[in-house]
């Protein structure tokens, strides 16, 4: 049976699964995440990617709430999406104002979008305690606001804020809110788990009741979940099973507090698992991983490695038994083909690796002149396990692994040899009594038959050592000036000891040039030595990838700089 040929049936229905519309609120709800701030350009770039993948509705923000949102709605008119519809978001009118005078309603209209989402209170607690008004007046605010706006826009969605908490407190009033919004002209009623604390069983029970109400009214309804109990995706999919025709969420689940329902998980589940037609086609779904990482880049967040579907670890295999099985049949440990979401299978090499891991990895790297009984293979596997026991980690430093594989198979060129290095740190005080730290590094390298002895400075010991190493090599290998350090992580390794200042450290470094990104690792009881080892691996990998030949000139001389 082919991969993904089994689809989850929609409970209680013999008809084909209905189309579910996708509503993205990354630019509004996602922007309320702690430490995330979108510029106008950021919002425009994200909107462009959301449109490209096929999202139905893009909520751009709350017009009138801040200058960024106002500017976004003006700019998006100059570059309107091809597929998606832009939505303006705001609240029902205030008590004591008319619809013509209410600043929020007028701000929504000034945004000039063809769709508006209006939110109103559906929990009696919020009506009486937060708004400080009587329950009937809240219904009037909802009715008058929706009727006024619906006469002026094509599409109007109503977000029933705190609907699930409201239903549990007073189901009759919560349903009355929905009926009022529908009768006023709302095109879709959105049930919001605003506090994000509902269990799946609660959502299932409540949405079934709402589905019956909606059927009597002839109304469409949708779902908007927050993730405070880490159930936002599950609750959203449960609502769809009950009959929701719209799902709201954000890319990577960003949002206030613990975030929103993650569309990156919801979309492939709807399409691949539940069989619901969505605007993100199978072909567009292959952009999902790139979209997820793009939003992480814009928001300056480190991508979550174990994020379902799109994380770098989502289809990574480390245990030898797992790898042996998945290489025979991917269904053994992969629930979908990673290519469907634009991701890829990864086989990791570690102290848990078996021969299957290593053989697969070597084939990936282009090693073909060996068989399963090759003694070089056994020696390499033993070396990797020994190194990882000492603290090395090759899962995040695959360039360092590749270098060791080349060395084991006699393919690593001898570009240079270390003869020694020294680093001196000092605090400097200028004429204005300002204190700064500086470092000076000395390296001795054998390049061909040239012994190069060179000194350079930097703002810190690692920077100084990097500068000295590059200067020592740039005459022979000018390519190294194209590589740049982009990541530097230090981890203390206690190894069961005291774990104090004398503990071992692991240094993981990330590098890039115009063509590649690569990672290397160094481990030592001295942070500078570990950093140097990772740095040397990075340089050697760069030269190897560029196809550089080792320097072979016969010049017995010492070059001191």
- The per-residue pLDDT string of the chain (561 residues; one tens digit each, 9 = 90 and over) reads 344 444 444 444 456 788 999 999 999 999 999 989 999 999 999 999 999 999 999 999 999 999 999 999 999 999 999 999 999 999 999 999 999 999 999 999 999 999 999 999 999 999 999 999 999 999 999 999 999 999 999 999 999 999 999 999 999 999 999 999 999 999 999 999 999 999 999 999 999 999 999 999 999 999 999 999 999 999 999 999 999 999 999 999 999 999 999 999 999 999 999 999 999 999 999 999 989 988 987 887 878 889 999 998 888 777 656 656 666 667 777 899 999 999 887 766 554 555 666 777 788 778 878 777 788 888 888 888 888 788 887 766 888 988 998 888 888 888 999 899 999 988 777 777 787 778 999 999 999 888 999 999 988 888 899 999 999 999 899 999 999 888 888 888 865 444 555 678 989 888 888 877 888 999 999 899 999 999 999 999 999 888 888 876 444 444 445
Specify the residue for token string 């960024």. 68
SS3 87: strand
Given a contact cutoff of 8 angstroms between Cβ atoms, the answer to whether 163 and 193 are in contact is yes
How far from the centroid of its chain's Cα atoms is residue 108's Cα?
A: 31
H or E, element range at 158: strand 155-161
Predicted local distance difference test score (pLDDT) of residue 381: 82
Q: List residues bridging with 58 in a β-sheet.
A: 24, 86
Residue 211: predicted pLDDT: 97
pLDDT value of position 556: 42
Other Cβ atoms less than 10 A from the Cβ of 194: the count is 24
Judge whether 326 and 332 are in contact, CB under 8 Å: yes
Q: Is the distance from CB of 28 to CB of 89 less than 8 angstroms?
A: yes
- CA distance to 112, 210, 406, 445, per residue, from 411 (Å): 64, 67, 5, 21
Contact between 261 and 227 under an 8 Å Cβ cutoff? The reply is yes
Residue 354's pLDDT is what? 58
**Cα–Cα distance, 480 to 416 (Å, whole number):** 13
Strand partners, 457: 440
- Partners of residue 190 on adjacent β-strands: 159, 222
> Of 473, 466, 475, which Cα lies nearest the Cα of 520?
466
3-state secondary structure of 491: strand
Residue from 443, 439, 449 nearest 469 by CA: 443
User: Which residue from 373, 383, 386 is spatially nearest to 406, judged by alpha carbons?
Assistant: 383
- 3-state class percentages of the chain: helix first, strand second, coil last, to nearest 5: 40, 20, 40
Sheet of 417-429, strand order: 417-429, 435-447, 450-458, 557-560
- For residues 222 and 255, is the Cβ–Cβ distance under 8 A? no
**Residue 323 burial (CB count, 10 A):** 26
Could you identify the residue written with the tokens 């589905």?
Answer: 211
Structural domains of the chain, with CATH: 21-280 (3.20.20.70), 316-389 (no CATH), 417-560 (3.30.160.270)
Q: Give the pLDDT score at 350.
A: 53
Give residue 20's Cα distance to chain centre.
Answer: 24
Measured CA to CA in angstroms, residue 484 lies from 167, 473, 520, 546 at distances of: 56, 15, 13, 15
Task: Give the bridge partners for 191, in sequence order.
Answer: 160, 223
Query: How would you class 136 by CB atoms within 10 Å of its CB: exposed for 0-12, middle for 13-18, buried for 19 or more?
Result: exposed
Token digits of residue 507 = 């240094």
CA-only gyration radius of the chain, Å = 30
Structure tokens at 149: 């706006």
The tokens for 220 are: 């469409």
Residue 338, CA atoms < 13 Å, CB-side half-sphere: 20
Please tell me whether residue 193 adopts helix, strand or coil conformation: strand
């Amino acid at each position: 049976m082919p991969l993904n040929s089994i689809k989850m049936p929609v409970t209680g229905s013999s008809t084909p699964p209905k189309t579910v519309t996708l509503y993205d609120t990354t630019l509004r709800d996602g922007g309320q995440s702690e430490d995330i701030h979108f510029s106008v350009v950021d919002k425009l770039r994200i909107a462009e990617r959301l449109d490209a993948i096929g999202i139905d509705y893009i909520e751009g923000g709350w017009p009138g709430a801040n200058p960024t949102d106002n500017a976004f709605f003006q700019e998006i008119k100059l570059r309107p999406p091809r597929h998606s519809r832009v939505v303006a978001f705001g609240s029902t009118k205030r008590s004591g104002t008319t619809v013509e005078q209410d600043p929020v309603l007028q701000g929504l209209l000034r945004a000039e979008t063809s769709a508006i989402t209006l939110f109103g209170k559906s929990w009696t607690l919020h009506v009486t305690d937060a708004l400080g008004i009587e329950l009937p007046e809240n219904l009037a605010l909802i009715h008058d606001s929706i009727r006024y706006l619906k006469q002026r826009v094509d599409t109007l969605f109503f977000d029933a804020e705190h609907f699930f908490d409201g239903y549990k407190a007073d189901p009759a009033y919560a349903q009355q809110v929905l009926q009022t919004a529908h009768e006023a002209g709302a095109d879709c009623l959105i049930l919001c788990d605003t506090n994000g604390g509902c269990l799946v069983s609660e959502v299932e029970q409540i949405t079934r009741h709402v589905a019956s109400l909606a059927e009597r009214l002839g109304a469409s309804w949708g779902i908007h979940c927050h993730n405070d109990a880490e159930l936002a995706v599950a609750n959203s999919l449960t609502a769809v099973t009950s009959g929701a025709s719209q799902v709201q969420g954000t890319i990577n689940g960003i949002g206030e507090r613990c975030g929103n329902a993650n569309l990156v998980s919801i979309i492939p589940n709807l399409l691949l698992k539940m069989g619901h037609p969505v605007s993100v086609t199978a072909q567009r779904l292959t952009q999902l991983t790139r979209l997820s990482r793009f939003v992480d880049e814009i928001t300056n967040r480190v991508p979550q490695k174990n994020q379902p579907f799109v994380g770098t670890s989502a289809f990574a295999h480390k245990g030898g038994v797992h790898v042996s099985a998945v290489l025979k049949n991917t269904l053994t440990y992969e629930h979908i083909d990673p290519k469907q979401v634009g991701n890829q299978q990864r086989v990791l090499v570690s102290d848990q690796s078996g021969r299957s891991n290593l053989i697969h990895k070597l084939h990936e790297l282009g090693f073909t002149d060996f068989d399963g009984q090759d003694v070089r293979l056994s020696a390499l596997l033993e070396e990797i396990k020994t190194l990882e026991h000492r603290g090395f980690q090759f899962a995040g430093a695959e360039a360092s692994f590749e270098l060791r594989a080349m060395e084991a198979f006699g393919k690593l060129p001898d570009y240079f040899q270390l003869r020694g290095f020294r680093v001196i740190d000092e605090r400097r005080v200028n004429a204005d009594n300002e204190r700064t730290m500086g470092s000076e590094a000395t390296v001795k390298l054998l390049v061909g038959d040239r012994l190069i002895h060179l000194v350079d400075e930097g703002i810190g010991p690692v920077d100084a050592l990097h500068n000295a190493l590059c200067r020592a090599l740039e005459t022979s290998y000018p390519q190294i000036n194209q590589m740049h350090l982009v990541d530097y992580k230090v981890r203390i390794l206690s190894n069961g000891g005291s774990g104090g200042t004398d503990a071992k450290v692991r240094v993981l470094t990330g590098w890039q040039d115009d063509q590649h990104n690569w990672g290397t690792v160094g481990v030592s009881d001295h942070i500078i030595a570990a950093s140097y080892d990772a740095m040397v691996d990075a340089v050697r990998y760069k030269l190897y990838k560029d196809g550089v030949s080792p320097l072979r000139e016969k010049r017995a001389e010492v070059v001191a700089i």
